[in-house]
A and B are shown apart, each in its own frame.
Chain A
Amino acid sequence: MAVSLFWYMVEFARSEWIKKFLFAKTAPLVTPAHFRGFPEPTGKACQHALFCMMVCPAPGAIEVLHEGDGWKPNIHKGHCIRCGLCVEACPNGVLRSGRVLETMWDQGTSLQFTFRIAIDPDLCMGCGNCCTACPVNKLADAQMGAGGHSASDEVIMRVQGGDILVLHEEKCTGCKTCEQSCPNDAIRIARILEGTQQPIQQPSPEAGP
């Protein structure tokens, strides 16, 4: 009994044991480099193409705001699902998340948007709100009036004979301002996403856009 008690005390009197007992720490939790976390800014200037907002599957997770003298994407972490699509859709490499941006550069992958305009002729009453609201139309023809009539052929769409005539679908930037201004939900913009790859022959770390 006494001997076993002695061995017991000796076991616990070892300096390593006491050190471990008093100062033991579990290894700190480290986020691995491959983990696709919340998007972070890389420091490149945002050109407000807004593709990140368009591609985001979570409502209200990302918004591009004008702050100070430049544009800046703001991530709302409660809404973000960390899918990394905004990183892939950004043409300027403004955001990074895990290894998504690096693998994009290495492998030459990207997500390409095309925008298509669909107008339901049964619902459309030719009010021209969409043509007036469209920011691209405003740049192409600053004289466009409330009726959506325009003499310019450079506009995306205009009212002609009581109907909307789409002239330049390829100019659409997918902002969906026209959808919001339509009283009948007659106009709908389709944001068509395509995953593409242009393989890079000699991948190098500087092979960024």
Chain B
Amino acid sequence: MGGEAEMKRTVDVNIPLGPVHPCFKEPARLKCETRGERVIGAEVELGYMKKGIERIMKGRPWQEVMFLAERVCGICSVIHNLVFIEAIEKISGISVPQRAAFLRVIANELDRMQSHLLANFSYCYTIEHETLAMYLLDVRELVMDELERLTGARVTCAYIIPGGVRCDIRAEDQATLRISLDRIESDLHRYARMFETGPMIALRSKGIGILTQESARRSHAVGPTARGSGIDVDMRTQHPTYQQLGFVPVVRKDCDNHARIMVRFDELFASIRIIRQCLDTLPKGIIRGGGICKAGEIRYSGEAPRGELTYTIKTDEFGRITDIQIQTPSIMNIEACCHEMIVGVDSIADVTSTFVSADPCIACTER
């Protein structure tokens, strides 16, 4: 049997990386089977920080679950808020004013920008290009400031509520947002070019961590990880507001670490374009339509910075959550990462950078 032969294969050293390790910052254990320096297989071990947040959510009304949903992930909190609230709205048949829908897109794209910048920072930091990493963190601060100006808080914004958003964007904030976007774009052009054309970066990223299109489909990779392998999967194409804005997903076909990071850079520019488009075509009107949560059951997905995020929600007649399951993108990407991308990597030094290039978020995964 092939399986038996595989079980008995010779392994030089079984190297554990994490959960506490100098070059591995996520609380997960990655067990790499190596022969020489080459990794011939890897397995991930999760369960170091289970929060049980879905259990806490049960029996609570939306105004409490909304804040818990945001706290599933500290980096992509706005999308958790958005997907949860839109699922509730779908159940209850609440419609959103056009202006609020555009403001939601602005908040969501700003959040996606800061998440992508953080992911690219981690990658650059992992391949020891600290200069570029710190440049990217500097740009991220600008994005965070804009998010704070719009919503009042940097990470757990609590901006989106059923029927609309918490507050409108002021005219002077629109002007500052445009100025900041210009600066972010010009800085990012420089940094993206540094990354794309850097010869040392190419040595550490090009042709490493190959995830072919077939293996990406097999392991159900989502988000930038799949889009770096030439699969144009993006839940934003299903979202009515993004459809209205004519959103087209960013795809690269190189299938390696470099492609995944460049997809994130390209998506940053796409996000800047979307925000500008929203500001240009921001309709006038109210930002809250009202509406009361009702009973129902739904499975609703949205595109988180890391991929498809799905909420399965059941509510009772007063809008309290009786059952909820959250399916986060990172679990699929971690699977793709340790079973497809890391296998065949030529050096242990590339294992962490390959793992980070998939942008795994253990906080989401174990919620």
Chain A contacts to B: CB under 8 angstroms = 32, 34-36, 55, 57-58, 81-85, 88, 98-100, 103, 106-107, 109, 112, 114, 116, 118, 190-197, 199
Contact = CB atoms under 8 A, between A and B. Distances in A.
Interface of B, helix, strand, loop or mixed by DSSP = loop
A83 B61 contact: no
Contact of B148 (A35, A109, A195, A196): A35
Given A190-B61, A193-B63, A196-B290, A36 B152 contact: yes
B363 interface: no
Given A32-B148, A193-B62, A193-B63, 10 more contacts: A34-B149, A57-B63, A103-B167, A192-B292, A194-B162, A195-B161, A195-B163, A195-B288, A195-B290, A196-B288
Contacts of A57: 63-64, 66-68
22 contacts: A35-B152, A36-B151, A55-B63, A57-B63, A84-B152, A84-B158, A99-B152, A99-B167, A103-B168, A107-B287, A109-B166, A109-B288, A114-B292, A190-B320, A192-B61, A192-B319, A193-B63, A194-B290, A195-B166, A195-B288, A196-B288, A197-B290
Among B66, B158, B163, B293: residue with most chain A CB under 10 A: B158
Among B63, B68, B151, B163: residue with most chain A CB under 10 A: B63
A34 B152 contact: yes
Contacts of A88: 166
B282 interface: no
Nearest to A103: B167
Nearest to A199: B286
Interface of B: 61-64, 66-68, 148-149, 151-153, 156, 158, 161-164, 166-168, 173, 286-293, 317-320
Given A84-B152, A114-B292, A193 B164 contact: no
A103 B148 CA distance: 15
Given A98-B152, A192-B61, A196-B290, A109 B167 contact: yes
A106 B172 CA distance: 15
Contacts of A194: 162-163, 290-292
Contacts of B288: 109, 195-197
Contacts of A107: 167-168, 287
Contacts of B153: 35-36, 82
A172 B51 CA distance: 35
A81 B67 contact: yes
Nearest to B319: A192
Contact of B152 (A58, A100, A109): A100
A35 B289 CA distance: 25
Contacts of A58: 67
A196 B156 CA distance: 22
Nearest to B163: A195
Contacts of B286: 197, 199
Contacts of A196: 163, 288, 290
Among A82, A88, A107, A192: residue with most chain B CB under 10 A: A192
B156 A81 contact: yes
Given A36-B152, A83-B158, A197-B164, A191 B61 contact: yes
A192 B88 CA distance: 13
Nearest to A117: B318
Contacts of B290: 112, 194-197
Nearest to A193: B63
A107 B163 CA distance: 15
A70 B360 CA distance: 52
A114 B293 CA distance: 12
Contacts of B151: 36
Nearest to A97: B152
A99 B153 CA distance: 11
B163 A118 contact: no
Contacts of B156: 81, 83
A195 B61 contact: no
Contacts of A106: 168
A192 B318 contact: yes
Nearest 9 A-B pairs (CB), nearest first? A36-B152, A190-B318, A197-B288, A57-B67, A103-B167, A196-B290, A57-B64, A195-B161, A195-B288
B62 to A, nearest CB: 7
